[in-house]
Structure 1
Amino acid sequence: MIIKSVVIIAFILIIISLGSALFHLVSHKNQESSEKTVKALTFRITLSILLFVFIFIALVTGTFKPHGLGMQMHMKKPVQTDGIK
């Protein structure tokens, strides 16, 4: 439950950062606004990388186990045939 909460909070912060960058990009065309846009996008990239590393570490350590459709497809054993087509 903690892992899901961290991921959800990170996604919300990423979206807020994107919104902030868009606001500063559209609102004014001066140097200060440009710097704020760059800072917001840098913050978003940093959050995205940290989220990726967090999920990767959770997968490697086994605290987070994928259980979606893709995992179910990989777990199925191939059907063996006796050479009859």
Structure 2
Amino acid sequence: MKYLIVIGLIAVLLALASAGFFMLRRGATQGRDVRMARALALRVAVSVALFLFIWLAYLMGWIQPTGVPLAK
């Protein structure tokens, strides 16, 4: 389960990096803007999907919150 969450976070970072790459790239602005917008839309979609997956995993009992131990 942890590996799926890590893979999802890496996918979010890769989509964000590709949007940054297209933003900084020289060339025709029309194609660059479209590709950057697609990369950012993909990042949002993956982020929402990851959130829903974590929520579903919690509801199904696949993951459990462990909490933070209190210092005494």
Same fold (TM over 0.5): yes
Which structure exhibits the higher relative contact order, with contacts defined as CA atoms closer than 8 Å and separated by 6 or more residues?
Answer: 2
Aligned residue in 2 for 1:52:
51
Unaligned runs of 5+ in 1: 74-85
Number of equivalenced pairs: 69
Shift >4 Å, 4+ stretches: none
Once superposed, what is the RMSD of the aligned Cα atoms? 1.3
Q: Which runs of 5+ in 2 are unaligned?
A: none
Q: CA deviation at 1:38?
A: 0.4
With structure 1 as the length reference, what TM-score do the two structures score? 0.76
Q: Which residue does 1:19 correspond to in 2? A: 17
Amino acid at match of 1:19: A
- Quote the residue 2:64 is aligned against: 65
Aligned with 1:7 (options 5, 8, 11): 5
| Amino acid across the alignment from 2:58 | L
TM-score of the two chains, using structure 2 as the length reference? 0.89
| Cα distance in 1 between the residues matched to 2:41 and 2:33 | 12
